[in-house]
A and B are shown apart, each in its own frame.
Chain A
Amino acid sequence: MNLSDQLIQFLLSGFATGSIYALIGLGFSIIYNATGIINFAQGEFVMLGGMVTVFFLTSLHIPLPAAILGAVAITTFVGLLFERLAIRPIRKATPINLVIITIGGSILIRGLAMLIWGKDTHAIPGFSGEEPIMIGNASLLPQHLWIFGMTTLAIIASKVFFNYTISGKAMRACAFNPRAASLIGIDVKRMVLFSFVISSAMGSVAGFIIAPLTMTSYDVGIMLGLKGFCAAIIGGMSSGLGTVLGGIILGVLESLGAGLISSGYKDAVAFIILLLILFIRPQGIFKRAESERV
């Protein structure tokens, strides 16, 4: 395999993992935009998406589509409980305290997952087999196509939701100015709850589609969560295209770094980018200056 084939291979797999990071990142930015909180439990929702699917598949022998639906439902419910039990009671606290609460929540969820399912690593079979598809000399797994498809779908769905439905517009209104939103009759608390529901559902989708590729265990949430956070930071915490591009850039750079330098540096790439962005351009690469008049 010559260098150009290798490059294509790296780009393809980078794109796939990047899509996953984008999905996770969108979860971060949706909650951030609605509440100003960076929810570090987002990675645990991703973990739950994978682990609950595994549980349904292997322990209860439920067919894959039903197992996936069940995993999304359960993760979403956990997201809802999380907001109700951990965030809402102290809603008046400062953002930094709330962020620490989310870290605490993530440790709790991870610990419970370990107690329930143990420390083993599990695999989910690919949704449509494991037979690679050849593109020139580069190969692609059917699961990669699932990842592209689901990510595109999730992004389109969130775009439609935020731009064309009254609930989506209400959430954007809340994000911009919660006080004014409550003055026109929007129940801000409900919107916050709603943002956790959407984000946890989105996280669980990322969790079950990546599980066939990278396997899953009780602690995958830490790394995936941080990568998603990194994608959201690159994208300037936008709940749209910025974060998606952020995820893809991260995925591609990571895969190039792993392939061309050493796979040991795979995770380092993400954190170097994260630090660089935070030092040099904390508002994100894609944040436009918004034209505004007072």
Chain B
Amino acid sequence: MLKIKNINTYYGQVHALKNVSIHLARGEIVTLIGANGAGKTTVLNSISAVTPVRNGEILFNTSPAHSLSPDRVVGMGISQVPEGRQVFKPLTVEDNLELGAYLRIRKREGRGVIRQSLEEVYTLFPRLKERRKQLAGTLSGGEQQMLAIGRALMAQPLLLLLDEPSMGLAPLVVQEIFTVLKNLRSEKGTTILLVEQNAKAALKMADRGYVLETGKVILEGLASELLENKEVQRAYLGKEKKEIWER
């Protein structure tokens, strides 16, 4: 479904992604793990075309997506839930969701269909329905994350990119959100690319995973294998961290 072949992305002089190749099959949940600054977010932003790739190829369902503008990428069926939620705080919850369907409304899809998507999001996240007239800025962190995911779903994406959805959230909320993501895949067949610092939770949910280090893919494999991998355990599953906690 998505094939990324040898992409290189730069921030000015900084070579942020070095020959990164990643692929996703339809209906897969794939996770991208790695330390801060490893380039995880850059991979997502390269796919979403907000930080354009310098060379290499991104193919979505065999059509090139690496030279499009961000709005065209959304139009192809790729939606990103950005890091730190980035909901539109001065707008109401419902307006935020409605804007998620911006391109569909532009394409003159009927009110009924959009309304139906809205109800689907409310079924996934009932708390958003309770707060639909509230300004998004007044929501809690977890609710804002739900809103950000709901907003992305309003575009009816085939591929959902998530950037650290668990950041700063209570474990219970994280569990709730991850459950919704799993259901999305099983019910709608949505393909998911998940970027996480919380490597353990991400690998438990995902089918496969990639490990990124300083802009390069250093490991890839089935999520279950990565969970068992000594190197991954040492670097990302927190043996050292655990010791720090216990001190």
Q: Which of chain B's residues have a CB closer than 8 A to the CB of A177?
A: 86, 88
A186 within 8 A of B: yes
Give the A-B pair count, Cβ closer than 8 A.
81
B208 within 8 A of A: no
* Bound-state Cα–Cα, A291 to B144, Å: 14
> Known: A292-B89, A294-B141. Contact between A166 and B99, CB under 8 A?
yes
A119 within 8 A of B: no
Q: Which residue of B lies closest to A187 (CB)?
A: B71
A287 within 8 A of B: no
Q: Which of chain B's residues have a CB closer than 8 A to the CB of A3?
A: none
Q: Contact check, B152 vs A293: say whether CB atoms are below 8 A apart.
A: no
- Scoring A residues 142 to 175 as 1 if CB is less than 8 Å from chain B, else 0, what string do you get? 0000000000000000000000001001101100
Q: Contact check, A185 vs B74: say whether CB atoms are below 8 A apart.
A: yes
A183 partner, pick from B74, B75, B105, beta carbons under 8 A = B74
Q: Contact check, B98 vs A166: say whether CB atoms are below 8 A apart.
A: yes
> Known: A173-B91, A292-B89, A293-B138. Contact between A182 and B79, CB under 8 A?
no
Q: Contact check, B71 vs A185: say whether CB atoms are below 8 A apart.
A: yes
* Bound-state Cα–Cα, A170 to B151, Å: 13
- Scoring B residues 74 to 111 as 1 if CB is less than 8 Å from chain A, else 0, what string do you get? 11000110100011111100010011101101100000
A281 within 8 A of B: no
Count contacts on A: residues with CB < 8 A to the other chain: 21
Interchain nearest-CB distance for A180 vs B (Å):
4
Counting contact residues on chain B (CB < 8 A from A), the size range is 20 to 34
B137 within 8 A of A: yes
- Scoring A residues 266 to 294 as 1 if CB is less than 8 Å from chain B, else 0, what string do you get? 00000000000000000000000011111
> Known: A179-B82, A182-B71. Contact between A293 and B139, CB under 8 A?
yes
A176 within 8 A of B: yes
Q: Contact check, B102 vs A291: say whether CB atoms are below 8 A apart.
A: no
* Bound-state Cα–Cα, A184 to B70, Å: 8
A187 partner, pick from B69, B87, B135, B141, beta carbons under 8 A = B69
> Known: A172-B91, A293-B137. Contact between A180 and B98, CB under 8 A?
no
* Bound-state Cα–Cα, A185 to B141, Å: 24
* Bound-state Cα–Cα, A292 to B137, Å: 5
- Beyond the given A173-B88, A292-B89, could you list 4 further A-B residue pairs with CB under 8 A, ordered by the A residue number? A183-B80, A184-B155, A185-B74, A290-B137
- B residues contacting A by CB (< 8 A) are 48, 50, 69-71, 74-75, 79-80, 82, 86-91, 95, 98-100, 102-103, 105-106, 135, 137-141, 144, 151-152, 155
Can you offer 24 A-B residue contacts whose CB atoms are under 8 A? A169-B91, A172-B90, A173-B88, A173-B91, A176-B88, A177-B86, A179-B82, A180-B86, A180-B88, A181-B99, A182-B70, A183-B79, A183-B82, A184-B103, A184-B151, A184-B155, A185-B74, A185-B75, A185-B155, A186-B71, A290-B90, A291-B137, A292-B89, A293-B144
